[in-house]
Amino acid sequence: MVKIIVIDNGGQWTHREWRTLRDLGVDTKIIPNTVFFQEIVDENVDGLVLSGGAPRVGLTGELGNCGEYLEKAVFPVLGICAGHQYMARFFGGEVKPSETPEFGKVELKILKQDVLFEGVPEKSIVWESHNDEVTRLPSVFEILAESENCKIQAMKHRDKPFYGLQFHPEVEHTEYGEQVFRNFIKICKR
């Protein structure tokens, strides 16, 4: 059984991430972002999800111990919303308050096919809820998807299995959200 831990950054949908993984047959649990990396390693994890949360990564840059996880992880990491923004900043990108924040329904356009988006059409509906966004991509990342008002909706590390998503694949109204999780589970199995 694949084991994926959800790091709780205080998001409204952290528990939904846990639920989606559980429903897909993953051994999963939620852990607060204050635990040290060693505790996660001791759990024998195959992958990590960094949840979203209320912290304004665009303003403060703080997100518990997520930095330690990103520095040391040798397994796949999926950052969602604040988790994604933090990942970008950690690797040298820039996060700022969005000119046009997105809440609710948005059309996602995939720019570059990747394992994470297998089975997801070029255009699909996703659900958003963010005040900040990644405004400059870290040099070691590439952009996978965009929306009308947010150019970095999905990104991938060039050498490591690290992914960031601005939209929320864990909620019911994101059309292919479950598919994205299935793909991430596949990535964790490798």
Partner 1 sequence: MFNAEKFIEESVAKIKQEVTGKALIAFSGGVDSTVCAALVDKAIGEQLVAVHVDTGFMRKNESVNVEKLMKKMNLNYRFVDASEKFYNALKGVEDPEEKRKIIGEKFIRIFEEIAEEEKIEFLVQGTIAPDWIESGDKLRDNIKSHHNVGGLPERMKLKIVEPLRDLYKDEVRKIARALKLPVSERQPFPGPGLAIRVIGEVTPERVEIVREACDIVEKEIEAAAEKGLMELPWQYFAVLLPVKTVGVHGDRRAYGYVIAIRAVQSIDAMTCAFSKIPFDVIDRISTRITNTLKDKVNRVVYDVTNKPPGTVEWE
- With vertex at residue 89, the alpha carbon angle to CA 60 and CA 188, rounded to the nearest 5 degrees, is 120
Distance CA(165)–CA(153), nearest Å, equals 6
SS (H, E, C) 150-185: CCCCEEEECCCCEEEECCCCCCCCCCCHHHHHHHHH
Q: Which of 60, 99, 104, 159 binds partner 1 (CB under 8 A)?
A: 104
Q: Of residues 62, 107, 122, 172, which one binds partner 1 by CB under 8 A?
A: 172
Residue 83 φ/ψ, nearest 5 degrees? -65, -40
Closest Cα partner for 156 from 101, 77, 82? 77
Q: Which stretch binds partner 1 (CB under 8 A): 40-48, 79-87, 103-111, 141-149?
A: 103-111
CA atoms of 136 and 147, how far apart (whole Å): 15
Q: How far is the CB of 171 from partner 1 (least distance, A)?
A: 4
Between 103 and 113, CB nearer to partner 1: 103
- Sequence length of the chain is 190
Q: Which is nearer to partner 1, 101 or 143 (CB)?
A: 101
Among 39-47, 73-81, 137-145, 165-173, the segment contacting partner 1 (CB under 8 A): 165-173
Q: Which is nearer to partner 1, 93 or 169 (CB)?
A: 169
Round to the nearest angstrom and report the end-to-end CA distance of the chain.
12
Binding of partner 1 at residue 179 (CB under 8 A)? Answer: no
Residue 105 makes contact with partner 1 by CB under 8 A? yes
For residue 132, state whether it binds partner 1 (rule: CB under 8 A). no
Of 4, 6, 47, 53, the residue at the interface with partner 1 (CB under 8 A) is 53
CB of 117: closest distance to partner 1 in angstroms? 21
* Closer to partner 1 by Cβ: residue 28 or 157: 28
Catalytic residues: 81, 168, 170
Which residues have C-beta within 8 Å of that of residue 141, sequence separation ≥ 6? Answer: 88, 91, 93, 155, 156, 157, 158, 164
Task: List interacting residues with partner 1 (CB under 8 A).
Answer: 8-16, 19, 23, 32-33, 53-54, 103-105, 127-129, 168, 171-173
